[in-house]
A and B are shown apart, each in its own frame.
Chain A
Amino acid sequence: MRILLTEDSSPLGVELLKILADTHQVHTLPADADLTLGDVMWNAVRGTDAIVHTGACLRSVSLGTGYDAERAALEEATQGMSVLLDAATQANVRRFIYCSTLELFSEIPDDRYISEHWRPDPGTDMSTLSRHLAEQVTREFARERAVSVTILRLGRLCREEDVSAGTRPDLMWLDPRDAAAAVEQAVHRDTSQELNWQSRWTVYHICARPPHPKFLLDGSRGIGFDPVHNFATCWAQGVA
């Protein structure tokens, strides 16, 4: 399968490139690509079978923090996402995977079980607001265009072996290798021809499986997600 990966410089992007390149032809957007330019996006998506958007703002590296960086993230998540999906659907790309975040639920207390049926509760910080708005854009394209959009709300990336003994475990942890596996599974999901738009736009929560989870993974099991790195040692220490 020919896959366009939006970037390969973030920790997630690096991991995705490693795993996807084993079995697919993967190309990435240039680091200075402007997602808001239709011509640029059209050339980037032509001949592609699937697009994997890591959720990272391409311009954030050069802009650092502050108003300009937030604005760039907002522009990419809204206008940029619209341009990218417009180009993709015109080019008959049938599969689109967007890596959102479980941080959309970080303000909901840990004494709740959260599934994909819960309403996202983004803050006004751009890291969550932009993901929420980008999800909305993808939903509207799936509603009216022939494309399968899979939203993967990823937990907090953390490599299992990097967690030192005694560290307080996190209900949102997700090893990037498991994140990459979920993306690989989502790439194969294609319901673009189904008349029911709701199956064309689907959300899955993706994180490790702790002994007593906050985020329920029953939905993501449907695409075969079964996390390997569950930080068992950390949880076994009984710090929760």
Chain B
Amino acid sequence: MKRVLFLGACGLIGPYLTPGLVEHYDLRLADVKPHPEGIDVDHVDVRDYDQVLEAARGCDAIMNFTVVRNDLADGFQVNTIGAWNVMRAAVELGIGKVVHSGPQAVRSWYDTDFDVDDAPAAPGPGIYSLSKWLSAEICRVFSQKHDIQTAYFVFNGLFAAPVAPITEPADTPTFVVVWEDLQHVCRLALEVSSLPDNFQLFNMLSYTGPGKYNTDKAKRLLGFEPTQDWDEFYRRRETPAT
């Protein structure tokens, strides 16, 4: 069973992602804050290289889901410097697989376009989007120069899957991934043997109905398919569901 360091295990994503991984991998959960369900985690601050290096020792892969969104200093320290620390540790320890996350860096520029898959990024100067976009560049350069296979997932919202069809008029989310799909694609990324150019950035969304963004590349390179037809929950029905 592969040993995987999971940085950011107690954040807004980690606790929802772990259940889909724990049976498949020997997870080393790590964060700077306690797990909301009281699960034991290692205290690892991604801003501290020595802590990242020690936590990654003996691991086959690193998943970095740490994030700070709206604080200038910590945004760059966690999102950008943290990514650099992760990639440096991967190089130093000979770890050949990294799974990383960040916000989509194209959405506002392509809101009036359709079928957007691998568009050039335009994150803008906002702290969150820019600091995370820089992390993607750091991951790309390290992956290509040091033969590390990195899957970098981007999204614009992560939510629980709908449990029943909508009963009031509501638009289908355009760039949102549900937990089950993210769990599924992370497993695929941890198992894939190689990626073109060692680094690929993947749109990650569960609802494809609007046709604005797609996951064609994730399907082509990772074999990703949504775990259910989630658009079904957003159908307009003549007789509202009960």
Is B76 close to A, CB under 8 A?
Answer: yes
Tell me if A140 and B72 are in contact (CB < 8 A): no
Is A91 close to B, CB under 8 A?
Answer: no
Tell me if A36 and B80 are in contact (CB < 8 A): no
What are 25 residue pairs bridging A and B, where the CB atoms are less than 8 Å apart in the complex? A38-B72, A67-B49, A71-B49, A71-B81, A71-B84, A74-B81, A78-B76, A79-B76, A79-B77, A79-B131, A82-B76, A82-B125, A82-B127, A82-B130, A85-B125, A124-B141, A124-B142, A132-B137, A132-B141, A136-B133, A137-B125, A140-B123, A140-B124, A140-B130, A143-B122
**Closest Cβ–Cβ distance, residue A142 to chain B (whole Å):** 9
Is B134 close to A, CB under 8 A?
Answer: yes
Q: Among the interface residues B91, B123, B142, which one has the most CB atoms of the partner chain A within 10 A?
A: B123
Interface set, chain B 61-86, CB cutoff 8 A to A? 72-73, 76-77, 80-81, 84
Complex contacts, B134 vs chain A, CB 8 Å: 78, 133, 136-137
Complex contacts, B76 vs chain A, CB 8 Å: 36, 75, 78-79, 82
Tell me if A79 and B141 are in contact (CB < 8 A): no
Closest partner residue, chain B, to A68 (CB atom): B49
Given contacts A36-B73, A124-B146, contact A86 B141 (CB under 8 A): no
Q: Which of the residues B84, B127, B141, B146 comes within 8 Å of A74, measured between beta carbons?
A: B84
Tell me if B141 and A123 are in contact (CB < 8 A): yes
Other A-B pairs, 13, CB within 8 Å; known A71-B49, A82-B130, A123-B141: A36-B76, A67-B49, A74-B80, A78-B76, A78-B134, A82-B76, A82-B127, A124-B87, A124-B145, A133-B138, A136-B134, A140-B122, A140-B133
Complex contacts, B80 vs chain A, CB 8 Å: 74, 78-79
Interface set, chain A 54-102, CB cutoff 8 A to B? 67, 71, 74-75, 78-79, 82-83, 85-86
**Closest Cβ–Cβ distance, residue B103 to chain A (whole Å):** 14
Closest partner residue, chain B, to A134 (CB atom): B134
Q: Among the interface residues B73, B84, B122, B127, which one has the most CB atoms of the partner chain A within 10 A?
A: B84
Interface set, chain B 82-96, CB cutoff 8 A to A? 84, 87, 91
Is A145 close to B, CB under 8 A?
Answer: yes
**Closest Cβ–Cβ distance, residue A6 to chain B (whole Å):** 18
Complex contacts, B137 vs chain A, CB 8 Å: 132-133, 136
User: Please, how many angstroms separate the alpha-carbon atoms of A133 and B138 in the complex?
Assistant: 8
Would you give the 0/1 interface string for A28-61, flagging 1 where the beta carbon is closer than 8 Å to chain B? 0000000010100000000000000000000000
Tell me if B72 and A79 are in contact (CB < 8 A): yes
Is A141 close to B, CB under 8 A?
Answer: yes
Q: Among the interface residues A38, A67, A82, A145, which one has the most CB atoms of the partner chain B within 10 A?
A: A82
User: Please, how many angstroms separate the alpha-carbon atoms of A169 and B91 in the complex?
Assistant: 35
Tell me if A75 and B138 are in contact (CB < 8 A): no
User: Please, how many angstroms separate the alpha-carbon atoms of A190 and B163 in the complex?
Assistant: 55
